[in-house]
């Protein structure tokens, strides 16, 4: 493969490998220790200089997210949302949305065109907004919706990938946060009854699974017959729903809290249970501690807002709209 065609992501690794090869190839014997060190240093410098190859030119197929992550600089001028047909389909049957940077489609870190279903036009619009609001220096942590979409496309595209992720998430259920309940102090017991007991009751009513609270220090795992219905249910999620669910599990450290949040927001007729309720359920233990000891500035307050921001992104990623809404968004963009 010509060097010019290598992805820019490979160049730092290429330089490191070349430098290591230079060290291993340097002379190992000489008349004196001083001469040996001098020859060794000279060889290393020569080979290191050879390794400093110029950056490869940007390829039209290069991942925009990878390029931005490498350079940390904004290299695009315009951001637009556009319709795009699925591979092999005609333009008249366009069923996806893409974000274009200077007319080129945004790609995931793996190089996949970031195609978002038309019914998830809100997600597509938020991804476009994230890239539009980037300043001269890229801030990757300000791209949460892009990250969510890329996770769905790169990490959850195949049944095998989704099955493996579901297996990992079920491990959270077997030792779920809401299962570890204490009988003291009183404020913790009160918060557990207020936020966690309704969740366990909901799981039993909705899925027929009895999740048993764990009160001992050594703990115990949940029964397989309680876990199986929940495992089957999350396996039915599409890649976008599973990406949102996975992020919610990681944010709350709870399978049950994340499941309640996703189920309440994945359809328009879901029950009213949102980000604030999920956040309060995830913060039961922290809340009991701050009630006694007080809040730590720049720690508890930052975590408080960060949790709600992450869960808010999950909920926004679940929103579905009609094709007419997507058409309105695209037509409104064209008139601006």
DSSP for 119-141, written as a single string: GGHHHHHHHHHHHHT--SB--GG
Say if residues 163 and 235 touch (Cβ distance below 8 Å): yes
Q: Is the dihedral of CA 200, 203, 205, 207 positive or negative?
A: negative
Fold type of domain 159-320: ATP12-like fold (1.10.3580)
- Put simply, whether the predicted model's pTM sits higher than 0.75 gets the answer yes
Please report the pLDDT score of residue 3 as a whole number. 31
- Tell me whether the CATH fold assigned to 79-139 matches the one assigned to 159-320: no
Digitized pLDDT (tens) for each residue of the chain, 336 residues in all: 333 333 343 334 334 333 333 333 333 333 444 444 455 555 545 555 555 444 444 444 456 566 666 657 888 999 999 998 877 655 555 589 999 999 999 999 999 999 999 999 999 999 999 999 998 888 888 999 999 999 999 999 899 999 999 999 999 898 898 988 888 899 999 999 999 999 999 999 999 999 988 876 666 678 889 999 999 999 999 999 999 999 999 999 999 999 999 999 998 766 789 999 999 999 999 999 888 888 888 888 899 999 999 999 999 999 999 888 888 888 877 665
SS3 category, 209: coil
Using a 10 angstrom Cβ sphere, with 0-12 exposed, 13-18 middle and 19 or more buried, the burial of residue 260 is: buried
Region of 103 on the Ramachandran plot (φ > 0 left; ψ -120 to 50 alpha; else beta): left
Distance separating alpha carbons of residues 194 and 266, to the nearest angstrom: 24
Please report the pLDDT score of residue 264 as a whole number. 95
Question: Count of CB atoms within 10 A of residue 50's CB?
Answer: 12
Query: If you classify domain 79-139 with CATH, what class do you get?
Result: alpha beta
Please report the pLDDT score of residue 6 as a whole number. 35
Nearest to residue 130, comparing CAs of 74, 63, 61?
Answer: 74
DSSP for 2-14, written as a single string: -GGGS-GGGHHHH
Domain boundaries, the chain: 79-139, 159-320
Nearest to residue 195, comparing CAs of 286, 266, 262?
Answer: 286
Please report the pLDDT score of residue 29 as a whole number. 38
């Amino acid at each position: 493969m010509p060097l010019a065609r290598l992805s820019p992501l490979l160049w730092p690794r290429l330089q490191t490998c070349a430098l290591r090869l230079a060290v291993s190839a340097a002379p190992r014997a000489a008349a004196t220790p001083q001469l040996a060190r001098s020859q060794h240093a000279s060889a290393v410098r020569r080979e290191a200089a050879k390794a400093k190859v110029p950056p490869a030119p940007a390829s039209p197929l290069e991942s925009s997210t990878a390029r931005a992550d490498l350079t940390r600089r904004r290299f695009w001028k315009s951001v637009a949302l556009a319709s795009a047909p699925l591979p092999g389909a005609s333009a008249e049957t366009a069923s996806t949305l893409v974000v274009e940077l200077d007319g080129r489609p945004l790609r995931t870190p793996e190089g996949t065109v970031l195609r978002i279903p038309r019914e998830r036009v809100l997600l597509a619009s938020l991804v476009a907004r994230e890239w539009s609001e980037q300043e001269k220096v890229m801030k990757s942590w300000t791209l949460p919706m892009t990250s969510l979409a890329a996770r769905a496309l790169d990490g959850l595209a195949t049944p095998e990938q989704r099955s493996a992720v579901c297996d990992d998430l079920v491990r959270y259920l077997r030792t779920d946060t809401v299962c570890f309940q204490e009988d003291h102090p009183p404020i913790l017991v009160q918060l557990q009854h207020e936020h966690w007991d309704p969740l366990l009751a909901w799981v039993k009513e909705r899925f027929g699974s009895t999740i048993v609270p764990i009160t001992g220090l050594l703990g115990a795992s949940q029964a397989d017959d309680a876990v199986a219905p929940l495992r089957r249910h999350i396996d039915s999620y599409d890649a976008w729903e599973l990406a949102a669910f996975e992020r919610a599990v990681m944010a709350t450290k709870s399978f049950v809290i994340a499941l309640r949040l996703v189920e309440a927001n994945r359809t328009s007729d879901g029950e009213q249970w949102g980000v604030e309720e999920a956040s309060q359920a995830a913060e039961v233990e922290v809340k009991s501690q701050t009630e006694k000891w007080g809040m730590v500035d720049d720690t508890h307050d930052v975590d408080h807002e960060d949790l709600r921001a992450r869960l808010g992104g999950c909920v926004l990623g679940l929103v579905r709209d009609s094709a007419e809404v997507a058409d309105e968004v695209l037509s409104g963009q064209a008139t601006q």
